[in-house]
Structure 1
Amino acid sequence: MSLAHHRRKQPALVRQQLLEVAARLTMEQGMTAVTLDAVSGASGVSKGGLLHHFPTKNALLDALFESLLERFDADLDARMRDDPVPHCRFTRAYLRAVVDLKDSPGEAAHWAQVTIALLVEPRLRQRWRDWVQTRAEEYVGTDSSVDAQIVRFAADGLWLADMLESHDIEPAERRSLIARLLDLAGN
């Protein structure tokens, strides 16, 4: 009998391991490198074991996107808990989370690959649209002002500029820009 028959099954850990390998492949080689064979080989999980958790590449990519969104949501929630002012709390948390991605290269790389996928994958684009709509509805009473919307759109612009490394902004200028956006969001 093989060792696989003797080891204790831990499906949650195996699923997480597969997602981590898919994320690493995405970061190192791009989305096209994420194939079922590549993830299976790099994780040491049989292809059958992989297919048990993710029956298709799309299911794997969807789960990877969900995992990133869950981490992003947890980060936003933690930032909001630490912010005592309800007005524009979500907007400030969103801005800070997006801005801080620049200082977290691993997380930023994951989001960069997923952002590229958002442009070409309608189902992921719809999932992002749904997330944005859900959060907008959740915080309609505190974060629906024009100023809050301007700050979130500016945050998205910063995110894109950071991801593409398209703008050379001096650190002092960046801090001033972020401070002005936080002021606009009622900081």
Structure 2
Amino acid sequence: MTEHEGTRNAERTRRAVLDAAVEVLAERGTAATVQHIATAAGLSKGGLLHHFPDRDALLYAVAEDHLERFRLRVLNLVDLSENRPGKVLRAYVRALCGSDSSLLAEYGTFSGIWPALEKVPGVQTLSDEDNDSWFTLFEQDGLDPDRILVVRYAAEGLAIAHSYDANVSTRVLERARTVLLGLIDKQAD
């Protein structure tokens, strides 16, 4: 086996562990153990601990991975041809109020497991830094902070509600997306 293959195998194993951790946390909440996660990932507990030294390190990595993957998915939706302020916030709204069912499902799952993750040392700081970086990015894109606040949290609330409230259907999200995008583009009075 080449060094490159070993790296790819380690990356695949790490991805499998992170995905299994999300599944187990969604199912078991704070009762999820390293053994539960290792079993779900098809590893021994020792095999899992080879990649993550302890449960807190694993859960921190789950939180970090979620935040990074969400950021990349949103940034991939930025339309650089939009020649007006708010490109990034529009992408954020499209991500959370769009038709990408996998992203909506992932966002809904994370809203359910976040209370368990935020108890892990360092995760709240990680979350605060992520939150601050989103606001900075939105403000750098030329929008009023109050408008950012309302649109961002409305989109997040709708995405979370979609995961548990049958009344917040994909059709409702599409309507809300249109309204929120209009709020982004509305000129200040």
TM-score category by the smaller chain?
0.7 to 0.9
**Which runs of 5 or more residues in structure 1 are unaligned?**
1-7
Q: What is aligned with 2:74?
A: 76
Per-residue deviation, 1:144: 3.9
| Alignment-derived partner of residue 5 in structure 1 | none
In the alignment, structure 2 segments of 5+ residues that lack a partner are: none
Aligned to 2:47: 49
Q: Which amino acid aligns with 1:142?
A: D
- The TM-score with structure 2 as length reference comes to 0.77
Q: Deviations over 1:132-175 (max 9, x none)?
A: 1012223423254122322112112213322342x735766543
Q: Which residue of 2 aligns with 1:3?
A: none
Provide the C-alpha distance between the structure 2 equivalents of 1:107 and 1:82, rounded to a whole number of angstroms: 26
**Residue type of the partner of 1:71?**
R
- d(CA) in 2 for partners of 1:101, 1:150: 21
Query: How far did residue 62 of structure 1 move?
Result: 1.2
After superposition, the Cα gap between the structure-2 partners of 1:43 and 1:119, relative to the gap in structure 1 and judged at 3 Å, is: closer
Q: How far, CA to CA, are the matches of 1:17 and 1:169 in structure 2? A: 31
| Aligned equivalent of 1:130 | 129
Relative to the length of structure 1, the TM-score reads 0.78
Give me the whole-angstrom Cα distance separating, in 1, the residues matched to 2:109 and 2:169: 25
Question: What is the root-mean-square deviation in Å for CA atoms of aligned residues?
Answer: 2.9
User: For the Cα contact (< 8 Å) 2:98–2:177, is it kept in 1?
Assistant: no
1:143-162 superposed matches below 5 A: 143-145=142-144, 146-162=146-162
Which 10-residue stretch deviates more, 117-126 or 141-150? 117-126
Q: Deviation digits for residues 39-85 of structure 1, max 9, x if unmatched?
A: 22232322222112111111111111112112211111111145523
Amino acid in the other structure paired with 2:82: P
Q: How many residues align?
A: 178
Q: Secondary structure at the match of 1:185?
A: helix
